[in-house]
Amino acid sequence: MPRPGFVLEVDRSTPPALIWHGEGFRLERLPAERSRIVYAPEPLAPLPDPDAAIRAALLNPLGDRPPLPELLRPGMRLTIAFDDLSLPLPPMRRPDNRQRVIEAVLDLAADAGVDDVVLIAALGLHRRMTEAELRHALGDRVYDAFAPSGKLLQHDAEDPKGLVMLGKTDLGEDVEVNRRVAESDLLVYVNINLVAMDGGHKSTSTGLMSYKSVRHHHNVRTLQHSRSLMDRPHSELHSSAWRIGRLLNQHVKVFQIETTLNNDAFGSQLAFLQKREWEWGLRDRASFMAASRGVELLSPRARRSLFQSVLAPHQMTSVHAGEVEVVHEATIANLHRQQVVDVEGQSDVVIFGLPHVGPYNVGSIMNPLLVMCLGLGYFFNMYIGKPLVRPGGVVILSHPTPWAFHPVHHPSYIDFFEEVLASTTDPAEIEKTYEERFATDDWYRHLYRTSYAYHGVHPFYMWYWGAHALEHASSTVIVGGNRRAVRRMGFRPASTLADALEMAEDQVGRDPTITYFRCPPLMLARVE
Amino acid sequence: MLREALEGRRIAITGATGFLGTALTERVLRCLPETEVVLLVRPGRRGAAERARRDVLANDCFRRLRRELGHRFDEEASRRVIPLAGDVTVDGLGLDAAGREVLASCSTVVHSAATVSFDAPLDAAVEVNLLGPSRVAAALRQAARERGPQGDGPPRPALPHLIAVSTAYVAGGRRGLAPEAALAETPFSPQVDWRAEVAAARRARSDAESASRAPEMLARFRRQARAELGAAGVPLLAEKTEDLRAEWADDRLVELGKARAQALGWPDAYAYSKALGEWALLEERADLPLSLVRPSIIEASLAEPHPGWTRGFRMADPVIISYAKGLLREFPGIPEGVIDVIPVDLVVSAILAVAARGPVAGPDIVHAASGARNPLRYGQLVSFVREWFSEHPLADDKGQPIEVPQWTFPGRRRVQRQLRRATNLLEGAERALQAMPLRGSKADLAARVEKRRDDAERALSYVDLYGSYTETEAVFSVQRLLRLQDSLSPEERREFCFDPAVIDWRRYCQDIYLPAVVAHARVPQADGRRRPAPAGRSREQRARRAVLSPDRQLAVFDLENTLVATNVVDSYAWLATRQMGLAERARFTARTLLEAPRMLRLDNLDRGDFLRWFYRRYEGADPGELEGEAWEMTSDLLLSKAFPAGIRRVREHRALGHRTLLITGALDFLIEPFKPLFDDVVSAHMRSAGGELLGELDEAPPTGEARALLMADYAAAHGLELAQCVAYADSTSDLPMLEAAGFPVAVNPETKLATVARKRGWPVEHWSRAPGFRRPLLPFGPLKLGARHGDNYRADKPGATGQQGATAPREQGAMALRERPPRTVSPKTGSGGLRKI
């Protein structure tokens, strides 16, 4: 029986805590009597037979959807869209949830004699996936069956001929969707719900739409009023996505299939990452020593490729299919079962150790903007109720934050960092002055469509993602970060955690209370 | 008396655009209100009047007079200044009858035109300094003859009074007193037949010209040109070769001049040609009334028109500045020796006094020198200079004060030896660096070494040139000068003072001369008084800003090593290895490495030839296949090795409304993905037949001057001015294009281009690849992922919409980039085909 998550009050006998630091970790002793560590629940037991569970879900859908076979008929246009590279994190071992689900759906489609089947990677404004990445997500069998004949597509949010405007929501939000989706008799959406933000109408209204639609929920105003964006009922972002998704559902029949994973992110060799420090055995200590020493010996590039090659052993804990909103409720309940930890009250300071991978640097480089987004956008928002840190408190991130960028994946990030952040770090100012130019830039558009680049506007979203945190906290300190890069973002660099805590005292006073959110493994803090 | 004597008269001045001539013109206009001046100037393109206005009257020398006269200055100048087009290097001074008429109307002619450079080529010195004065004399006599006897009006001397400015150093390397007398009458003067010297100098010029045209010499110049510019294309190399030839011939004549002068006992060709000029003039003048004024080293003014006025870079200035910059660690000289300096205003006064007094019988020769009456010792001068620069040091690049060296007055030979050794060492280092295929900041190192070598060479040349002046032991007698002074009234002695005794050397050096030199040289000082350039921007920063001015119209970019760190070999390797297994890749690598030296050599000789040779490898490939692969290659190879700052620059130009043009030797279908970055693209096109590439280019590849022509044609076709064009390139093979553009920018330049850019003051950009990302070293395509299963779900037709297709794998072996030993093509040397476009 997996143990739930809990909050450890640090005292003098508490061993040093493991803190993620990019492609590495640090062990830090936290101040006794005023620090607490939030530990994630242990991984839930996976579904014993995921394929059977999938089949059962397809045949027993939730909400007002009939079983999938009843929706399939010869001559129909069937489109299967699936979550892209940004999920799950780290990428999971084969077979991926998407492969299992899509194979099951395709089996039913074949049985029903459906010929016109197209697979679409729901990229939204993300970069295209490479052949290897597609093969990993879908399996070779699916890939080889669809790709050569051009039936495996990647959503192109900038293809004027490939988009259809379906109309506007009550609040005037444009709904411009992938043409194939709009013209399909059935859209099956295959999702992996890694964190509470994912899934539901957000899958389609982000993954299959254009900048024109996405900008309605990805902006400074919605993000500042998404408290948090991991808590849909209190998220402006989701409210907008839901309105847009509902309008899509009026035009296209959507059959949503959502899956959840347990939080077993690291295999046996890195098991210590999943364990609580005082429970480390001899083997865990040895592998921690070996891993941290070994990592130090490697070049940054070798370190990066080593960490990027890690595949997670996480496994499916639930699968639901049917009507979008009902399915999503069930999914979120399962997700909460795995991730929620109850935390009492806020603290003056919160510490996040950032790992090597976030949603936008799979197979790539965690550039400074992605560090900001992972820390202030994702980790900060991993709460229900109130943020872990009090208003005016200090956020401390731990990450090397190198001045490094992937030239193919993140070209507009480089220019954003060099040009935009050099003049201002204020999200509203950035949105007002620069967003449109980057979003409509022909060269970025070209790279997004034909190369492997994120959309020109994507770095702006990284910054907006942190807008709530920027507004809430009084300052951000990055431990061990490249000083120039950290300062460029308007944050303060510190060489050690002790220094960072000293600096925090300038803001929040002597002997502040501290929360260390020991994530990953993934969790969601319910703060009373 | 002086003023009255010259009242209502005309004084003609040659060399008015020079240092002494300008000062003389100013003094006449300011102090002799009823005297006119005729300025004999070479008309140039603008004409004599415009030259007189721009090059004489606009000078800072007239600041005081302009202030005094206010708006009447122009009126006064047009009333009293008569510009006259003429040239002392041609017989008759190039004057027509009207010109001679003007000349004949002058009562006094001051001939101060000379080539004052100590290292002028022998023939130039002879034409100007030796023959110039006699030509002036001859022209005056002819003019007077034509004018004939005066009709009405007051009687005037039939012939004008010629005052020729010579130099005290005609005395040569003698020790002791040099009298104010003709050389022929001075003991220990060389007896030289000046006519024979003229003939010999002219012969030497024609000999040097023919010697420089000998085939082996021409071959040498070509080699040098290529070593300097690399594969810059035939026209540029030819131009450089011709420059080198002319330079060589000049150098020979400089050398000959110096040797001949020293053989006859003069320090250099200047003193030698001036001495013979005196000789010739005295012989040729016949009945022309003549006076000779021999100044020593003329330097900044003591008081008139304002203390410290100077024009041009005077002899001692570069030495002083080099010293203050710490470049001259030593300078030869005898500490107790006299360094004979005379402020320019004193010389002007002396000339005017001679003019006012008029001609006297016999050769009338006056020294304008300080040594006999008020000597400045060399050791004294050095300590004044050292003191001053210790208090007012110059600043180095970082704004830090430069400490001046302590001179120990070693012998000239020792200093020369030291400097020569340093020069040789640096030259060796420079050659070694030039030979290496360096780029970017490493190429900068070569440029720095080159600058150091330049500095050392310059120091050596100063020692060679001026060493004899700091070691002079002659003392120039000023008896006649002082007697002339006595003839003036006390007020005039104050106003037109030329008694060297009035100079307080410390005050002159430290309060007048050195501040003037530093101000004139525009060098930054460490005490913050002279900040480098306005708004704190360096020349390079200003150039950088100019590049991105909205006034520019066209920005032309090279691709390889300018925007992306790859080349045609990388692209080929990527495409060729795309279909290979591991073993085959290893063989491919070995083969390519073996060929590398040859590729490098060919590329160094001529980029176009290299491209033709290399592109043979594409023979038989399927263009459609390659085109498809090009998109993958762009992401995997080109974009991952792109310079983000470069890409950003292209986009900045577009945002400013400039047209952007990519000119590249890469094959068109391979750079297709780059097209949207630019307004237009010019690239190499390969012919194909029957679905196969032929391995031959359609037209000459856009390299070298073809690139410059393409740029010019493009600009013309779009109505853009080349003067408003910015060109970015990385190698000397792009020199023709860079030179043709108004705003050239060297990007990550290789050594040779770095050197050229530094010399011409072109901005240099060091663009680097995205920080923190490294592609694997070998430019290979990723291994193909195999299709492993049959398909259950295959649908019949490809997707209907134009969405992004997945990265569809192609059938194995479809791409026909056959690996074969490339056909050898020997590089062409100058034969046709290359230059047509």
pLDDT (tens digit per residue) in B85-139: 888 888 888 888 888 888 888 888 899 887 777 778 888 888 888 888 888 888 8
Does A145 contact chain B (CB < 8 Å)? yes
Q: Does A407 touch chain B (CB under 8 A)?
A: yes
- What residue type is assigned to position B737 of the chain? M
CA distance B525 to B527: 6
Of B772, B795, B808, the CB nearest to A116: B795
Burial class (CB in 10 A: 0-12, 13-18, 19+), B148: exposed
Q: Quick check: A80 contacting B, CB < 8 Å? A: no
Give strand pairing partners of A26: A19
Tell me what the mean pLDDT of segment B412-421 comes to: 74
**CA of B794: which chain A residue's CA is closest?**
A145
A407 vs B803: CB contact, 8 Å cut-off? Answer: no
Q: Which of residues 100-119 of A touch B (CB under 8 A)?
A: 106, 109-110, 115-118
For the stretch B490-499, pLDDT in tens is 888 888 888 8
Peptide bond into B410 cis (omega under 30): no
Give the pLDDT of residue B833: 24
B774, B793, B797, B811: which to substitute to probe chain A, counting the most A Cβ within 10 Å?
B793
DSSP annotation string for A321-359:
EESHHHHHHHHHHHHHHHHEEEE-S-EEEEEEE-BS--T
DSSP B669: G
* pLDDT tens, residue by residue, B155-195: 455 788 889 898 888 887 777 788 887 777 777 777 788 88
Q: Which of A329, A167, A177, A182 is nearest to A253 (CA)?
A: A182
Is A94 in the B-facing interface, judged by CB distances under 8 Å?
no
β strands within A344-464, DSSP E: 347-353, 383-385, 389-398
CA–CA gap between residue A9 and residue B665 (Å, rounded): 67
**Which residue of B673, B677, B803 is in closest CB contact with A156?**
B803
Chain A residue whose CA is closest to B771: A404
Which of A154, A179, A300 is closest, CB to CB, to B772?
Answer: A300
Distance from CA of A325 to the nearest CA of B (A): 29
- Residues B429 and B413: beta-carbon distance below 8 Å: no
State the pLDDT at residue B827. 33
pLDDT at B823: 34
Closest CB to B773: pick one of A117, A180, A365. A365
Contact predicate A7/A36, CB 8 Å: yes
A389-398 sheet: strands from edge to edge:
A6-9, A35-39, A514-518, A347-353, A389-398, A475-479, A492-494
What are the pLDDT digits (tens) for B338-383?
888 888 888 998 888 888 888 887 778 888 888 888 888 888 888 8
pLDDT at B810: 32
Q: Is the pLDDT of residue B812 over 70?
A: no
The rounded Cα A443 to chain-centroid distance in angstroms is 27
How far apart are the CA of A172 and the nearest CA of chain B, in angstroms?
A: 27
Q: Name the nearest CA neighbour of B807 among B636, B643, B664, B658.
A: B636
Say whether A147 and B807 touch across the interface (CB within 8 A).
yes
Nearest CA in chain A to B791: A145
Nearest to A162 among B635, B771, B802 (CB): B802
Distance of CA A178 to the CA centre of its chain: 22
Closest to A399 measured CA to CA, from A285, A486, A464: A486
CA A411 to chain B, closest CA, distance in angstroms equals 7
8-state DSSP, A218: S
What is the ipTM score, two decimals?
Answer: 0.89
Partner B, chain A 146-165, Cβ-Cβ below 8 Å: 146-156, 159, 161-162
User: Residues with Cβ < 8 Å from B776, sequence gap 6 or more?
Assistant: none
Query: In terms of CA atoms, which chain A residue is nearest residue B775?
Result: A301
Query: Measured between alpha carbons, how far is B752 from B232 in angstroms, rounded to an integer?
Result: 10
Chain B positions touching A161 (Cβ under 8 A) are 801-802
User: How confident is the model over B189-240, as pLDDT tens digits?
Assistant: 777 888 888 888 889 899 988 988 989 989 999 888 888 887 777 888 888 8
Structure tokens at B93: 């001074």
> Which one has a higher pLDDT value, B666 or A457?
A457
Cβ atoms within 10 Å of B209's Cβ, excluding its own: 14
Kindly report whether the peptide bond that precedes residue A61 is cis, defined as omega within 30 degrees of 0.
Answer: no
CB atoms B804 and A405 under 8 Å: no
Q: How is residue B11 annotated by DSSP? A: E
- Give CA–CA dist B792/B810, Å, rounded: 19
Q: Is residue A11 a contact partner of residue A488, using CB atoms and an 8 Å limit?
A: no
Query: By the 8 A CB rule, do B118 and B466 touch?
Result: yes
- Of the candidates B631, B634, B795, the beta carbon closest to that of A117 is on B795
Is A446 close to B771, i.e. CB distance below 8 A? no
Token pair listed for B496:
């037109």
pLDDT at B149: 60
By mean pLDDT, which of B416-425, B529-538, B541-550, B559-568 is the weakest? B529-538
Average pLDDT over residues B774-792: 64
What are the backbone dihedrals phi and psi of residue B68, each rounded to the nearest 5 degrees, phi first?
-65, -40
Task: Say what percent of chain B tops pLDDT 90.
Answer: 9
Q: Give the bridge partners for B36, in sequence order.
A: B10
Domain ranges in chain B are 544-765
Per-residue pLDDT of chain A (528 residues; tens, 9 = 90+): 789 999 999 999 999 999 999 998 899 999 999 999 999 999 999 999 999 999 999 999 999 999 999 999 999 999 999 999 998 989 999 999 999 999 999 999 999 999 999 999 999 999 999 999 999 999 999 999 999 999 999 999 999 999 999 999 999 999 999 999 999 999 999 999 999 999 999 999 999 999 999 999 999 999 999 999 999 999 999 999 999 999 999 999 999 999 999 999 888 778 888 889 999 989 889 988 888 888 888 888 888 888 888 899 999 999 999 999 999 999 999 999 999 999 999 999 999 999 999 999 999 999 999 999 999 999 999 999 999 999 999 999 999 999 999 999 999 999 999 999 999 999 999 999 999 999 999 999 999 999 999 999 999 999 999 999 999 999 999 999 999 999 999 999 999 999 999 999 999 999 999 999 998 899 999 998
Res A205: pLDDT: 95
Predicted pLDDT at B441: 64
Cβ B610 vs Cβ B731: under 8 Å? no
CA dist B12 → A223, B5, B99, B109, B399 (Å): 85, 16, 12, 4, 47
Name the token pair of B670. 């391979």
- Residue in A143, A404, A415 closest to B773 by CB: A404
Tell me which chain B residues have a C-beta less than 8 angstroms from the C-beta of A109: 793
User: Which of B640, B673, B787 is facing A407, going by the closest CB pair?
Assistant: B640
Q: Which residues of A386-404 are buried (b: 16+ CB within 10 A; e: fewer)?
A: bbbbbeebbbbbbbbbbbb
Using the 8-state DSSP alphabet, how is residue B33 labeled?
T
Omega before residue A521 within 30° of 0, cis: yes
What is the band of B148 on the pLDDT scale with cuts at 50, 70, 90?
A: low
The CATH number for B544-765, chosen from 3.40.50.1820, 3.40.50.1000, 3.30.360.10, 3.40.50.10860, is 3.40.50.1000
Query: Which residues in A lie closer than 8 A to residue B809 (C-beta atoms)?
Result: 131, 147-148
Tell me whether A131 touches chain B (CB under 8 Å).
yes
Q: Looking at residue B517, what is its pLDDT?
A: 80
> Which residue of chain B comes nearest to A181, CA vs CA?
B801
Residues in chain B: 837
User: Which of A85, A163, A443 to substitute to test the interface with B, most B CBs within 10 Å?
Assistant: A443
* pTM across the whole model: 0.74
Q: Determine the Cα–Cα distance for residues B127 and B88; give it in Å rounded to an integer.
A: 9
CB–CB contacts below 8 A, A to B: 165
Contact between residue A339 and residue A196 where contact means Cβ atoms under 8 Å apart: yes
Is A145–B794 a contact, with Cβ atoms under 8 angstroms apart? yes
Q: How far apart are CA A53 and CA A316, in angstroms?
A: 10
d(CA B471, CA B68): 43
Query: In whole angstroms, what is the distance from residue B661 CA to residue B563 CA?
Result: 13
B633 sits in which H/E element = helix B623-633
* Residues of chain B contacting A79 with CB distance shorter than 8 Å: none
Which residues in chain A have Cβ-Cβ distances shorter than 8 Å to B642?
407
Instruction: Give per-residue burial for B375-412: e unless 16+ CB within 10 Å, then b.
Output: bbbbbbbbebbbebbeebbbbeeeeeebebeebebeeb
Q: Look at strands A524-527 and A514-518 and give their pairing.
A: unpaired
Highest-scoring range by mean pLDDT, A69-73, B139-143, B465-469: A69-73
Return the C-alpha torsion angle A410, A414, A419, A423, nearest 10: 90
Among partner residues B787, B795, B802, which is closest to A161 by beta-carbon distance? Answer: B802
Out of B636, B789, B803, the one facing A144 most closely (by C-beta) is B789
The mean pLDDT value of chain B amounts to 79
Residues 17-76 of A with CB under 8 A from B: none
- The whole-number average pLDDT for the span B585-605 is 80
Which among A162, A300, A405 has the least Cβ separation from residue B801?
Answer: A162
pLDDT confidence of residue A4: 92
Closest among B578, B595, B577 to B586, alpha carbons compared: B577
- Look up residue B637 and give its DSSP letter: I
Q: Which residue of A has its CA nearest to B774?
A: A301
A104 CB neighbours in chain B (<8 A) are none
Distance between CA A261 and CA B430 in Å, rounded? 65
Cα–chain-centroid distance for residue A196? 9
Categorize the per-residue pLDDT at B80 as very low, low, confident or very high, splitting at 50, 70 and 90. confident
Residue B267 CB partners (closer than 8 Å, separation 6+): B118, B169, B172, B173, B261, B468, B469, B472
**Coil, strand or helix at A26:** strand
Chain A hits for B679, Cβ within 8 Å: none
Banded model confidence at residue B790, pLDDT cuts 50, 70, 90:
very low
B804/A128 CB distance under 8 A: yes
Please tell me whether residue A471 adopts helix, strand or coil conformation: helix
B635·A161 Cβ contact <8 A: no
What's the rounded Cα separation, in Å, for the pair A408 and A465? 22
Partner-chain contact A411 B647, CB within 8 Å: yes
Tell me if chain B has a CB within 8 Å of the CB of A171: no
Counted residue by residue, chain A has a size of 528
- A4 DSSP 8-state letter: P
> Is the predicted pLDDT of residue B804 greater than 60, yes or no?
no
